Amino acid sequence: MDADLLAQDEDRIELKGSSIIAALKASAVEFILSVPDIVTSGGLLRPIARDPSFKLIRVCKEDECIGIASGLAYYDKRALALIQHTGFLDSINAIRGVGVEFRQPICMMIGLLQHDPATTPRNSPRYGVRIIEPILDAMGIPHHLINEEADVAKIAPAIEDAYAGSHPLALLIGRRPSAALGSVELDSPATSVHSRASGNPGATLRGSGSPLARGRTDNKRTENKMS
């Protein structure tokens, strides 16, 4: 089984990827701009990649998301940068220039890598996570911690506010969103994997004994199609 589909050890609190995706749809987010992040990979990026409601743009480096989202905003097209906190840190200058100084509605959903979801980000065992909220505060960027199901309700109003006020926004994902059964296949045009339907879409994956772990094929490279 791929690492992104394993639940975090002894984490009994569920944050459903499907709930977050529903909130993004309710917010009229059309474009997802992403570098894969292990926190959000299984519960968000994989199902988003398969969902025709979204246009997924896979970028090479996170700061590309900032420019792309800005360009889209000129046409009132809503985008979400789905990135890891390390990518956020790498993109600070772009966020500073585009989001803060030029006041563009740059919405970021940031996975907190190796964070302990039982603690707050400011008390995280990881230095890289501890500094995220203070940096956002210093930059004047509104931020919300999405750590459990009740937090999902914060997403749509926050995105609405970011676009209404034309300012950046950070949604911090504190624990791995659970992946619904049936969301395990990779949908990148560069990969090919086994797909299996499930009659239990609300279930979450626990451990490597899941039937979803069987029958997968190895990733196979295919050529990108030119249009």
Residue 112: burial class (beta carbons within 10 Å; 0-12, 13-18, 19+): buried
**Which listed residue (26, 76, 134, 202) binds other proteins by CB under 8 A?**
76
- Helix (H) or strand (E) holding 68, with range, is helix 62-73
**Which listed residue (3, 60, 164, 197) binds other proteins by CB under 8 A?**
60
Tokens of 9: 């050890």
Query: Which ranges constitute the DSSP H helices of 84-146?
Result: 85-90, 92-94, 127-130, 132-139
> Which amino acid appears at position 52 of this protein?
P
How many angstroms separate the CA atoms of 179 and 156, rounded? 20
Contact pattern from residue 18 through residue 57 relative to other proteins, giving x for each residue in contact according to CB under 8 A and a dash for the rest: -------------x-----------------------x-x
Q: Is the CB of 75 or the CB of 127 nearer to other proteins?
A: 75
Q: Does residue 59 belong to the site contacting other proteins (CB under 8 A)?
A: yes
Q: Does residue 58 belong to the site contacting other proteins (CB under 8 A)?
A: yes
Rounded to a whole number of angstroms, the minimum distance from the CB of residue 122 to other proteins is 27
Q: Which residues bind other proteins (CB under 8 A)?
A: 31, 55, 57-61, 63-77, 79, 93-94, 96-99, 101-104, 224, 226-227
